[in-house]
Every structure is written in C-alpha cells, then in structure tokens.
Amino acid sequence: SIVGSDDCEPCTPNSASPPGSSSPGACTCVVGFSGSGDTACVDEDECALGDADCDALRATCNNTQGSFTCACNDRYVGNGTDCVP
C-alpha cells in the first residue's frame, strides 16, 4: 500500500488523499482544480467562473494552473484587487 494513495494506486495529478488512506474514492482534487481525484482533475478557470477577486473595472484576470493572477490595467496602479488612477 502506498501512503496517500487510493486503493493502493497513486492519485491522479493535481489531487491528493489523506495520509495513510487506502479507501476507494479517497483522492480529491486540490484547490484550483475540479473533477474526480480518482480519474482526473482539471484546472478551474477562476476568472471565467467569477471566483477571482480582481478589481472588476480596473484590472485584468489571468487564469493560471490551479490559481489566477490580477494585474491593474494601463493608467491604474495597485495590487490587482484594488487599482487606482
């Protein structure tokens, strides 16, 4: 048995199971990914889903694998979640 595996098989990429678990269905996708941890985990597009906390009027959201980044648009400064002229 492999520690952190499901049914003695490793979890799929971008998924994990509780340490020492060997029960079927134990693998779940990590934050930023969705699907079945036993078969596949795909990137969630937080920008398209509206889950990103970017400044809605003054920043651009960029989806990344498992996460996202926010960047203030031209003529604005800030951290991407709060942008000012």
Residue 34 burial (C-beta neighbours within 10 Å; 0-12, 13-18, 19+): middle
User: At 56, is the pLDDT very low, low, confident or very high (cuts 50, 70, 90)?
Assistant: very high
Distance CA 27, CA 6 (A): 6
18-55 confidence digits (pLDDT tens): 776 666 568 899 999 999 888 899 999 999 999 999 99
Q: Quick check: helix, strand or coil at residue 31?
A: coil
What does the pLDDT read at residue 20?
A: 67
46: left (phi over 0), alpha (psi -120 to 50) or beta: alpha
What does the pLDDT read at residue 81?
A: 97
